[in-house]
Amino acid sequence: MSKPIHPTALFRLMVLGPLASRGEIKRGEAKRIIRQLAVESYNIPDSNRTHLSEETIARWYSMWKRGGINALDPKVRVDRGSTQLPESVQNKIIELKKDKPERSINQLIDMIERAGLVSKGNLARATVHRFLQQQHLSKRILPDQATIERRSFVAEYPGDLWQGDVLHGPSIQTSNGMKKTYLVSLMDDASRLIAHSAFCFGETALDIEGVLKQAILKRGLPHKLLIDNGSAYISGSLKSICARLEIHLIYCRPREPESKGKLERFHRTFREQFLSELDLSKINGLSDLNARLWAWIERVYHQRIHGGLEDGKTPLERWREDLHHVRPLLPHVVEHIDDLFYYREERLVRKNGTISWNGHFYEVQHNLVGDKVTLVFNPHTNQAIRIETAFGDNLGPVVLLDLNSNLHRKRQRPHVAPASPKEQKEYAIESIHSEYTQLCRLPIAGSKEENE
């Protein structure tokens, strides 16, 4: 039975086609053909490169002439089963991997470079991978068994599509005891850049809107926003905000996180490189945790070459490459950005010129007594701002009710001009009293006898 031909040998013979299909070729003509073959693009097996050097093609041609297609088989490495890594690097890789088996190869290389054991860019992934395999420390990744048809996609330009999701974070110590945190993130689909990400104490619509506000202030306005179908994402407030900013909301199907695969992949990297290396004993609250998060995103994640981007770009480089396609915040939007994220609730003005909200009473203009007004408030600070009509017309500010100050406050009264004598009104009691006094008045006689 003949030996099967190795796929690599078939590829090399395909490249040598213009040379191998001809008989005797003169030396100068062979050089010219090799030079032409080196200009072509190829789908090279097990490689990201697309071009071959003239030296490589000439070497393959020489091998083929000496031994035919079998000579084009890839050579088995003479150092197979061994490694050229320095012992200090070997020990560090084993130490880091055993300490946290979930660490990725990229993370191991980064930590070894930061430790000063190798120069940046000199330690190849393949070298580390082979060494881990030799040490039986290579982690096996199971294939996806889902039967639903999946199709990869990517937005054409930065700002075309953002993906949003929430990841359960660690519990941290606060002044009120231990509290669980949640990581709310928005990622640009085209560049994999994190528009904004923050740890929050909840995963409510308010938390998501706070991250969205910071994201658009930093990175402009997206055209579309791909998010979950959870209760926090389908809130009326988030829909209103996106409608005012002309952001088209797209909801994923329930229980299908693959729709946001790029952000899910970021979460995996985040667990491996941030959460696993975080010393929670040094965290002094939510702001301290977020400070470490933002430092890692800007200094590590955004600056590192991303495997999902072409031409070996970092997320920040890809974002800047087509920055002119990003929809900017216009001045009038920036001026009223806070107002777009305020909440609104309808309230009835009581007889004493107040409205109630959040357990407090607020004074408004007294001429609105009995009317229904819309209270505008900042949901992040629970601060009442103003009141509006149902159509958004400003009716003025609201003031927290101060009963002590109202004790000395001069009341507003309507100004009524005094009526003229001709315009004096008649009142029933006065008329009856006048008639009664007239009847009770005794007549005075002219003499003593008449009076008696």
pLDDT tens digits, 297-351: 999 999 999 888 888 899 999 999 999 999 998 888 888 888 888 888 889 999 8
Per DSSP (E only), the strands in 252-358 are 343-348, 354-357
Helix, strand, coil tally for the chain in percent (to 5): 40, 15, 40
Reading the block at residue 162, the tokens are 């953002």
Per-residue pLDDT at 66: 85
pLDDT tens across 98-120, in order? 888 878 888 899 899 988 898 88
Per-residue pLDDT at 141: 46
CA distance 287 to 175: 13
Per-residue pLDDT at 1: 41
- Report the pLDDT averaged over residues 9-16: 85
* CB distance 349 to 364 below 8 Å: yes
Per-residue pLDDT at 400: 87
CA distance 30 to 315: 44
- Report the pLDDT averaged over residues 355-384: 87
What dotted CATH number matches 342-407?
2.40.50
Q: Which one-letter DSSP state was computed for residue 325?
A: G
CA distance 355 to 370: 10
pLDDT tens across 399-429, in order? 888 776 666 566 565 555 555 555 556 667 7
CA distance 323 to 450: 119
pLDDT tens across 208-227, in order? 999 999 999 999 999 999 98
Q: How many other C-beta atoms are found inside a 10 Å radius of the C-beta of residue 37?
A: 21
Residue 15 has pLDDT above 70, yes or no: yes
pLDDT tens across 355-367, in order? 888 888 998 887 8
- Report the pLDDT averaged over residues 368-392: 87
* CB distance 164 to 208 below 8 Å: yes
| Ramachandran angles phi, psi of 204, nearest 5° | -85, 175
pLDDT tens across 220-256, in order? 999 999 988 777 777 788 888 888 899 998 887 665 5
Which range (122-131, 178-187, 204-213) has the least confidence? 122-131
Q: Looking at this protein, which amino acid is placed at residue 213? A: K
Q: Looking at this protein, which amino acid is placed at residue 102? A: E
pLDDT band for position 380 (cuts 50, 70, 90): confident
Per-residue pLDDT at 76: 62
Long-range contacts of the stretch 239-243 (C-beta < 8 A, 24+):
241/209, 241/212, 241/340, 241/341
Per-residue pLDDT at 319: 94
Long-range contacts of the stretch 43-49 (C-beta < 8 A, 24+):
44/11, 45/7, 45/8, 45/11
Which range (4-18, 83-97, 165-179) has the least confidence? 4-18
* Percent residues over pLDDT 70 in the chain: 84
Mean pLDDT of the chain: 83
Break the chain into its structural domains and give their ranges.
Answer: 7-72, 87-134, 161-325, 342-407
Residue 445 has pLDDT above 60, yes or no: no
Per-residue pLDDT at 403: 75
pTM value?
A: 0.58
Nearest residue to 120 via CA among 293, 278, 298, 303 = 303
**H helix count then E strand count, the chain:** 17, 12
Per-residue pLDDT at 142: 44
CA distance 385 to 406: 21
Q: Which one-letter DSSP state was computed for residue 301?
A: I
Reading the block at residue 317, the tokens are 């480089």
- Please give the CATH topology (third level) of the domain spanning 161-325: Nucleotidyltransferase; domain 5 (3.30.420)
CA distance 394 to 376: 10
Which residues have C-beta within 8 Å of that of residue 361, sequence separation ≥ 6?
A: 354, 355, 400, 401
Residue 291 has pLDDT above 90, yes or no: yes
Residue 248's SS3 state is strand
* Percent residues over pLDDT 90 in the chain: 24
Per-residue pLDDT at 255: 56
Per-residue pLDDT at 417: 58
Residue 275 has pLDDT above 50, yes or no: yes
- What are the Cα distances from residue 197, in Å, to 21, 203, 263? 59, 13, 12
Which range (89-98, 131-140, 194-203) has the least confidence? 131-140
Distance from chain centroid for Cα 31 = 55
* CB distance 369 to 385 below 8 Å: no
Q: Looking at this protein, which amino acid is placed at residue 271? A: R
Cα angle 38, 42, 48 (rounded to 5 degrees) comes to 110
**Element (H or E) spanning 188, and its range?**
strand 177-188
Higher per-residue pLDDT: 177 or 410: 177
* CB distance 278 to 292 below 8 Å: yes
